[in-house]
Structure 1
Amino acid sequence: MAPGGAGNGITLQQLRYFIEVAAEGSISAAADLLYVSQPTMSAAMKELERRAGRALFTRSTRGITLTADGTEFLGYARQVIEQAELLEQRYLGRPPSRRLLGVSAQHYSFVVDAFVRMVKASGAAEYEFSLRETRTWDIIEDVRTLRSEIGILYRNDFNRKVVDKLLRDGGLGFTPLFLATPHIFVARTNPLAGRERVTLDDLEELPRLSFDQGTNNSFHLAEEILSTRSSKQDIRVSDRATIFNLMIGLGGYTISTGIISDDLDPSIVAVPLDVDERIEIGWIGHTSIPLTGQAERFVAEMREVVADFGVELFS
């Protein structure tokens, strides 16, 4: 009998082993977590590759990584296991399985709001969710390598060609959520906070706050529109809490969607920016891999959060 099951087909046990090995990047670590011997796990993975007819892992002294085929295979394996668990819950009366979802996003409070709703609505006794607010390049890499199932970022006329090429090269696609009118975020104590709208001239003497893009820094990967426009005072930060603190402490501003949660960020307000620009916000995922049910629920929560602000959604 072949390791992981009998017959010529791929078994659910092999898929479960494969998912754990991919997550840990190590056959021995996955074996320990699943309480099987390392030789058994190693043999099961070799047999899975034989049955799949292609190499799913690249092995080295530092561990294992997924090949391009392995990355695609992982997406389908997750789908199969999720459906099998739903079947067992429905017809065998088994308790709900541990919920899993990874999300990588630019620094948007509506994403956090939707994530909170998704976690509460999951009703799961056990779950393992991750939300990474990170750099644009890292979002694309996270989704390409399936560290995260979906990513949230923006496109506009300036960065569209560059972003679309990066997505295309990674086998990823962009699904629009909504089209936003640019706003500035400022502290409620800022003199501009009470204005109906502001112009770029109004911002000349204020510190411009933006999110650092690290070693892959590029105007086309900036999280803020109008990144090529010069500013007298520039400050780059790495997280949303810091940028909000600098809005309060230094009277700075950043440019974003205008969607901000009063519950999560009560000290910050959004003021429309008078520019001829639009920000297209959407989610990215593998074009050849359908979303899991948990990811679909998260997308639905994002749509609901945005709709609550009266923003028109893409159908």
Structure 2
Amino acid sequence: MTLQQLAYLVAVAECGSITDAAERLFISQPSLSAAIHNLEKEMGVTAFVRSNKGVAVTREGEELLSFARMLLEQADIMQEHFGAGRRRDPRFCVSCQHYSFAVNAFVDVVQQYDADRYSFILRETQTGEIIDDVSSGRSELGLLYLCESNESVLSKLLRKNELVFEELFTAEPHVFISRDHPLAARARITLDELRPYPYLVFEQGERNSFYFSEELLSMLDMPKTIQVRDRATLFSLVIGLNGFTVSSGIIDQKLNSPSIIARPLDMDGSMRIGLIRKKNVVLSRYAVSYVAALKKHLSID
């Protein structure tokens, strides 16, 4: 086993194709295939399932990849410390629901590992895609919430995909509304008071059930609902239509409009916001730094 073979393994997993990985690595396809085959034989695993559409990582391949990334990271650290060799470009991907603190933490990681070249990805996306991204290895970490109404379904789905949920904090439900909203002066807001106003929710695609909803309230709970795909559109509608959405109550005025405020929602329930990752996978230093940055912005020891 060599570091070069491990780098080849990671490249194939990222490209999803022997051909594309060979082009990225500037080697021939037969040479790359032979290197991967020899590594699989030495480790006694089948890392990829080949088809005419490319390659798919197996479950034992995911475990092998986690160790490969860890060893490559350690080699980078050693080369950086002793000044020998060329470091690999930093790579990190996280998929999350639409939380401003997730963006703040991502900014911290990019600044911490600033370099001439890097490839960082932040995906604010649908709940189902977050689970798919982490399960498939496209993202190293995911960020979402569990609550009493969705926990049984999502926890089962996480176990099925060999993912684990690690809680960061528990948030009481809040509403995001405009500073000019008729209810803005209220210390707490009730559901009955919100019924005349549009309820803004993030659209969840084919899995558009309340189990995958990013908001604590089911869409059936309110008479007026509008579905959106991104945070900027949602906040524009909060301001323009006196709409509201339900979330953790944590808002960053630098990243979001200063016209948006949070108010406690008078209802039962709570949101257990946390990270999901592959079971028994060693996190990269970028993922470790991201977790630390999240805890900093959430003031978690």
Of the structure 1 ranges 149-158 and 262-271, higher mean CA displacement relative to structure 2 is found in 262-271
Q: What is the DSSP-based 3-state SS (H/G/I as helix, E as strand, rest coil) of the residue aligned with 1:219?
A: coil
Match of 1:99 among 83, 90, 93: 90
Shift of 1:148: 0.1
1:272 aligns with 2:268: no
User: 128, 131, 135: which one pairs with 1:144?
Assistant: 135
Asked if 2 retains the 8 angstrom alpha-carbon contact of 1:179 and 1:279, the reply is yes
Q: 1:243-289: per-residue Cα shift (whole Å, max 9, x none)?
A: 11111111111000000101111221111111121111000001110
Please report how far the alpha carbon of residue 94 of structure 1 lies from its aligned counterpart in structure 2 after TM superposition: 4.6
2:61 to 70, 77, 81: 70
User: Could you tell me which residue of structure 2 aligns to residue 7 of structure 1?
Assistant: none
SS in 1 for 2:9: helix
TM-superposition CA deviations, 1:125-164 (whole Å, max 9, x none) = 3211001111111100100011000000001111111111
- Are 1:282 and 2:282 matched, yes or no? no
Deviations, residues 181-206 of structure 1 (Å, cap 9, x unaligned): 11101122212223211111110100
Q: CA deviation at 1:95?
A: 5.8
- What does residue 26 of structure 1 align with? 17
Of the candidates 272, 283, 286, which is equivalent to residue 294 of structure 1? 286
Q: TM-score, normalised by structure 2?
A: 0.96
C-alpha separation between the residues in 2 aligned to 1:156 and 1:242? 25
Deviation at 1:229, TM superposition (A): 4.6
TM-score, scaled to structure 1: 0.92
Alignment check: 8 A CA contact 2:219 2:225 kept:
no
Deviations 1:28-63 (A, max 9, x none): 211111111111111111111111212111111111
**Which of 40, 50, 57 lines up with 2:31 in the alignment?**
40
Aligned residue in 2 for 1:119 = 110
Decide which of 294, 298, 301 is 1:306's aligned counterpart.
298
- Tell me the residue number matched to 1:208: 199
Question: Tell me, what secondary structure is at the counterpart of 2:216?
Answer: coil
**1:4 paired residue number:** none
Tell me the equivalent position of 2:52. Answer: 61
Q: Does 1:235 align with 2:221?
A: no
Quick one: which amino acid aligns to residue 174 of structure 1? Answer: F
TM-fit CA distance, 1:121: 1.9
Identity of aligned residues (%): 45
- The separation in 2 between residues aligned to 1:67 and 1:278, in whole angstroms, is 36
C-alpha contact 2:135 2:163 (8 A) present in aligned 1: yes
Q: For residues 133 and 212 of structure 2, what CA distance do their matches in structure 1 show?
A: 15
**Deviation sequence 1:91-140 (CA, Å, 0-9, x none):** 24456541111000011111111111221122333211001111111100
SS of the residue corresponding to residue 10 of structure 2 reads: helix
What stretches of structure 1 of length at least 5 have no aligned partner?
Answer: 1-9, 308-312
User: What SS does structure 2 have at the residue aligned with 1:42?
Assistant: helix
Amino acid of the residue matched to residue 301 of structure 1? Answer: A
Name 2:244's counterpart in structure 1: 253
Q: Structure 1 stretch 93-102 or stretch 62-71: which is displaced more?
A: 93-102
Aligned to 2:183: 192
* Structure 2 SS opposite 1:221: coil
> Number of paired residues?
300
Amino acid at match of 1:304: K
Which 5+ residue runs of structure 2 have no aligned equivalent? none
Contact 1:197 1:271 in 2 (8 A): yes
Supply the AA of the counterpart residue of 1:165: K
**2:148 paired residue number:** 157
Q: Which secondary structure does the structure 1 equivalent of 2:184 belong to?
A: helix
RMSD: 1.4
